[in-house]
Copies of this chain bind each other. A is one copy, B any other.
């Protein structure tokens, strides 16, 4: 049964596997100091615009690990992160950030995004008062946990606001490829560099076996960061496993091509569902869509396709989550939309 449950069901893009095979018997330095990791970092820096030496790039194994390592390194003990109430770090990381000692303050959100208004409410509720945590780091996800994508204007507003308020702006980019490659999207990697203090470029959900590239832009956050990676258990002995993959993803446009393909597959499905007269939980130009369907239709779909039922809408309807990836074939998608 074909699964639209997530974008990490398959392995890696064949070019990545090939690159790993090619480099297999090379002897490399350990712990991310190998030539592939260094080259991959340079390729990413070249995409970020500006002075390539102005940013640090680190490779870590997974998203939760990157979030907890970065946030705990960036904050002092009394400082808190601000996120939406649907944020992965708030709901789906088993309290990983809190386990490093930091509270996550939330802003209710229906579209998965944070705005200056929402953050301002958190600031208002946390005046300069030592009986409360101090909001210090704003964490967004792009694309968000429910498929939406920030516009350039939204990111610029957030960035300006955060700098005014002395808040750090950090983006969880588990699906950053999908956001950057989304149709109508106007954000580039160079924008991310310009507007964020730090962010990560997700590999696991965009064609790699594993791996996320953390980009640290703000100089104040760079010092000794490798100590934090090691302390949190995120420094791989065979660091080149990560380096080789990102080298291949950024050697040309592979990273973006894979994301574009994933998005296109989801949009074919979305188009068919819309045409069939159904709505969506939230507009999504990315590789995750959340159509609202009659329960009996959902039951019928479940006979031949795997996916998550997301939320109950009313007595007769529910939303479901459909996720496509670099590995989703168009013929599969064409087959699927015949159901509508």
Q: A132-B94, A134-B227 are in contact. Are A17 and B11 (CB under 8 A)?
A: no
* Docked-complex contact B227 and A25, CB < 8 angstroms: no
Separation of A233 and B240 alpha carbons in the complex (Å):
20
A95 touches B69 (CB 8 A): no
If the complex has contacts A73-B77, A130-B229, are A241 and B24 also in contact, measured as CB distance less than 8 A? no
Between-chain CB contacts (< 8 Å), 9 pairs? A17-B21, A17-B24, A62-B235, A65-B233, A72-B77, A99-B231, A130-B226, A204-B236, A209-B238
Chain B contacts of A63 at CB under 8 A? 237
Q: Is the CB of B17 within 8 A of A233?
A: no
Interface check A257, CB cutoff 8 A: no
Number of copies: 4
Binding site for B on A (CB under 8 A): 2-3, 6, 8-12, 14, 17, 20-21, 23-31, 61-69, 72-73, 76-78, 80, 91-96, 98-103, 130-134, 204-205, 209-210, 224, 226-238, 240-241, 327
Inside 8 A of A27's CB, which chain B residues have their CB? Answer: 2-3, 9-10
Partner of A238, one of B102, B132, B210, B230: B210
Known: A63-B237, A78-B227. Contact between A132 and B30, CB under 8 A? Answer: no
Question: Within the assembled complex, what's the spacing in Å between the Cα atoms of A235 and B8?
Answer: 13
Q: B236, A210: Cβ atoms under 8 Å?
A: yes
Q: Are B30 and A10 in contact (CB under 8 A)?
A: no
- Contact among B20, B21, B61, B99 for A61, CB-based, below 8 A: B61
Contacts of A2 in B (CB 8 A): 27
**Minimum CB–CB distance for A228 against chain B, Å:** 6
* Given pairs A95-B133, A96-B230, A99-B231, 14 additional interface contacts (CB within 8 A): A6-B30, A31-B131, A61-B61, A62-B233, A77-B100, A78-B231, A92-B131, A93-B233, A95-B101, A95-B103, A101-B101, A133-B227, A204-B237, A204-B238
With contacts A11-B24, A77-B72 known, is A233 near B103, CB below 8 A?
no
Check B8–A238 contact: CB distance below 8 A: yes
Which residue of B24, B64, B232 is within 8 Å of A10 (Cβ)? B24
Residue in B72, B96, B237 whose beta carbon sits within 8 Å of that of A8 in the complex? B237
